[in-house]
Amino acid sequence: MEIVGEFMGKDTDKGLWRYFHSHWHDWFPNLGSRANFVKQRANLWLIKEQILRRLAHNMGAYDDRLHLIDGFPMPVFQITRAAKSHCFQGEAGYSYCAAKDKKYYGFEGHIIINSQGILSGFTFG
């Protein structure tokens, strides 16, 4: 579902769930609520990572001597709300996004690609 949704440009949980609930309900009668759908997707992170590693290995991404890393912000709250919130306390942190010239509270992500643009890894922290 995620692969098809990504291919179709459904890049939000709500959009993906709404599409499959509306158009493919006969194929997925036990799809359930959007909240449960999102939880099930999140709980499959290890399987998704294993699929990524297998695909990257089969495509020769790890054999390449050149890899590029790019980072991106993953804000949780606006900086003004972060001090009052207890969400992700001890996990998220304050940081700065130079591209947007903006401070934020949240996480940082990084992707690693080889010289052909094949995704070979990612980090979240």
Q: 19-70 pLDDT, tens per residue?
A: 999 999 899 888 889 999 889 888 998 998 899 899 999 999 999 899 999 9
Cα distance between residue 93 and residue 28, in whole Å: 39
Looking at residue 57, its pLDDT comes to 93
The domains of the chain are located at: 65-125
Q: 74-117 pLDDT, tens per residue?
A: 888 777 777 777 777 778 888 888 888 888 888 999 999 999 99
Cα distance between residue 107 and residue 124, in whole Å: 7
pLDDT above 90 for 125: no
Cα distance between residue 75 and residue 43, in whole Å: 21
Cα distance between residue 51 and residue 42, in whole Å: 15
CB atoms near residue 16 (< 10 Å):
21
Q: C-alpha angle 105/110/52, rounded to 5°? A: 130
Looking at residue 115, its pLDDT comes to 92
